[in-house]
Amino acid sequence: MNSACKGKKIAFPVEFYCEALDPEIKAAIGRARDMFASLGAEVEEVSLPMLEFGVPVYYILAPSETSSNLGRYDGVRYGAGRELFTKETKRRIMTGTYALSSGYYDAYYKKAQKVRSLFIEEYKKLLSEYDAILSPVTPIMPSKFGELLDDPMKNMMADLYTVTVNIVGLPSLSIPCGFGTSGLPIGMQLVGNMFSESTLLSLGAAYQKVTDWHIKRPLPVI
């Protein structure tokens, strides 16, 4: 039994086992849960019902803030290298500009900010009872370079498990936890309360002491 895990409480929201989750990832996360339990952690299923709103809220807030930040690129102080922006970058800037425009600010950005506040309260409540939250990193197996850029919706859904952490501002640690039959890696993440990085690192180190996924390398994909 590992002292870093002994007595620690880890939450696993049942909503993370959604239809979009690849079966191989689901199996790997299940094995990781069992491993933490064997190391002395108390792993419990909980509910985080707001997860389904994470992607739409993030893709209003993040592009809006990106659009606002990049508004200072006036071509004088920072240069005019806009041709270096990718199609996805331009898409997000335009989406954010639209959400912040007159007549749409209250309908989109303001409402998304209110939902962000609800997410903050949900995570605050959950992490007042648990030391960490265990989840997949992404619902799909790794894609080829540029593959998701041709499918914006699939690209957005790939962020399902990470976007709520981003908009709330919590630390998270991504750790290798397996490989699929394709030879590509699978990752899990541990999410903690603000300033709990030391706890996450301790839990991650404990897991890596008894597994070797972090030293293995993916097979070449042809």
CATH number, domain with residue 190:
3.90.1300.10
Residue 221 lies in a domain: no
Domain annotation covers residue 95: yes
pLDDT tens, N- to C-terminus, the chain (222 residues): 677 899 999 999 999 888 889 999 999 999 999 999 999 999 999 999 898 899 999 999 999 988 888 766 655 555 566 677 777 788 888 888 888 887 888 889 999 999 999 999 999 999 999 999 999 999 999 877 777 667 777 777 888 899 999 999 999 999 999 999 989 999 999 999 999 999 999 999 999 999 999 999 887 665
Contact in structure between 161 and 139 (CB atoms under 8 Å): yes
pTM comes to: 0.86
pLDDT number for residue 78: 54
Give the chain's domain count. Answer: 1
Has residue 45 been placed in a domain? yes
Cα separation, 103 vs 98, whole angstroms: 10
- List the domain range (segments joined by +) for residue 76: 9-215
Going 149 to 182 to 160 to 177, the CA torsion angle's sign is negative
Structural domain includes residue 2? no
| Residue at 3 is within a domain | no
Whether 19 is in a domain gets the answer yes
Q: What is the pLDDT of residue 175?
A: 96
- Establish if 102 belongs to a structural domain: yes
Residues forming a β-bridge with 136: 188
Report helix angle 54-70 to 87-100, nearest 10: 90
Tell me, yes or no, whether 165 lies in a domain. Answer: yes
The CA distances from residue 162 to 40, 172, 179, in Å, are 26, 9, 20
In this prediction, residue 222 carries a pLDDT of 57
Of 183, 143, 186, 139, nearest to 22 (Cα)? 139
